[in-house]
Amino acid sequence: MSAGGPAKPDYGVDAPGIIRSFAILSALFIVLSLTKFDLHLGAVSISHQTWYGLAVSFGVSALLMLLYAKVLKFHHRDRMLNMISWAGNEQVLDVGTGRGLLLVGAAKRLNSGRAVGIDIWNPVDLSGNSRQRTEENLRVEGVERICELRDEAAQKMSFPNASFDVVLSNLCIHNIPKASIRDLACDEIARVLKPGGRALISDYRHTGRYAERFRSHGLAATLHWSWATFPPLRIVDARKPK
């Protein structure tokens, strides 16, 4: 415990570079609007009123992304976890755990179960993204004894077949640039899921492709919109037959 009171978990800011860029562009466009700068390049003409519209658009987007990072992602996490009827003995995998938001939430619903989080800890995806920061969150949240962290990529997992009852992931797989490698990540999720197990994969793009890939492995996959996020996310709900 620190002098100021109990330590608090810190789950970082998602896509910090994009938020920063949007904020800078918004400020730039406000300046161009206030100086009444009109741009004319051949057939292209941008008035100072257009600069103002762009400033509002980028500024609002930055604020909404920050709102998601600080408030809405916790509600989205709870919505995902509430889709599972927990027995408490599940073996859980969080793919792209980041600073442990889903991992901690799942661990708190377990008693005899265990939760594993994997990541490559890319700071571009999440501010302060590191294994050490995640370990600190696990300690502060009091779940470190039933959690394990591994340095692994989603497309090449070391787990045996049928290792997990539940596989979770939020805003991870889209960060893989190649479609063929994203397919491999879905293949791995299907492989490590136990018969009768369930995968909930949340993302803002490529979700239709994820569902299609899961179906190719015999899983039943449905999609659910989550509008109380920014950007709007879709949850792929994939179930493996028993």
Give, for all 242 residues of the chain, the pLDDT tens digit. 445 556 899 999 999 999 999 999 999 999 999 998 888 877 777 888 999 999 999 999 999 999 999 999 999 999 999 999 999 999 999 999 999 999 999 999 999 999 999 999 999 999 999 999 999 999 999 999 999 999 999 999 999 999 999 999 999 999 999 999 999 999 999 999 999 999 999 999 999 999 999 999 999 999 999 988 999 999 999 999 99
Structure tokens at 73: 């992602």
pLDDT of residue 1: 43
Diameter over CA atoms, the chain: 69
What are the structural domains of the chain?
87-239 (3.40.50.150)
What's the pTM?
0.93
Which positions ≥6 away from 151 have C-beta within 8 Å?
Answer: 118, 119, 120, 121, 131
Chain Cα centroid distance, residue 184: 18
pLDDT of residue 2: 46
Rounded CA separation 127/140 (Å): 18
Residue-wise DSSP of the chain: -BTTBS-------BSHHHHHHHHHHHHHHHHHHHTT--EEETTEEE-HHHHHHHHHHHHHHHHHHHHIIIIIHHHHHHHHHHTS---S--EEEEET-TTTHHHHHHHTT-SS-EEEEEE---TTTBTT--HHHHHHHHHHHT-GGGEEEEE--TTS--SPTT-EEEEEEES-GGGS--HHHHHHHHHHHHHHEEEEEEEEEEESSSHHHHHHHHHHTT-EEEEEEE-SSSS-EEEEEEE---
